[in-house]
Amino acid sequence: MARLSRLVAVFLIAGLVTGTAHAVLGDIPFKRKKGAEAEASVPVAVFPHWVHRIRYKCYACHSALFEMKAGANKVTMEAIMAGKSCGTCHNGKTAWAVSFDTCARCHRGQ
């Protein structure tokens, strides 16, 4: 968690929150429980379904990685950075990795 707090701090200082696009049709915004202040200040992640659907068969994700139901999957940065969930692919090999440059690609807000 200490590591995540540092990431959040740098994310905020970098000002990446500003100027991000919002969800479009077909995107699935994640929901987040009310938590720490730092966590609340990073906009919620949005999953662009079509960007992935055109690249993968459904079974690449359903249901090995994700239940086929919006809101049914608990996703955390800890899991992603451990190479699970979105991090199965967003690891710098299959797809771009989590870094200060990429926070805002996923965290677009609703």
Check: CB of residue 98 under 8 Å from CB of residue 80.
Answer: yes
**Amino acid, single-letter form, for residue 15:** G
- What residues between 36 and 65 interact with ligand HEC by CB under 6 A? 39, 42, 44-45, 47-49, 51-53, 55-56, 58, 60-62, 65
Nearest to 41 by CA among 67, 14, 72: 14
Q: What is the dihedral of CA 4, 9, 12, 15, to 10 degrees?
A: -110
- Binding of residue 107 to ligand HEC (CB under 6 A): yes
Chain residues binding ligand HEC by CB under 6 A are 4, 7-8, 11, 28, 30, 32, 39, 42, 44-45, 47-49, 51-53, 55-56, 58, 60-62, 65-66, 68-73, 75-78, 80, 85-86, 88-90, 94-96, 98, 100, 102-103, 105-107
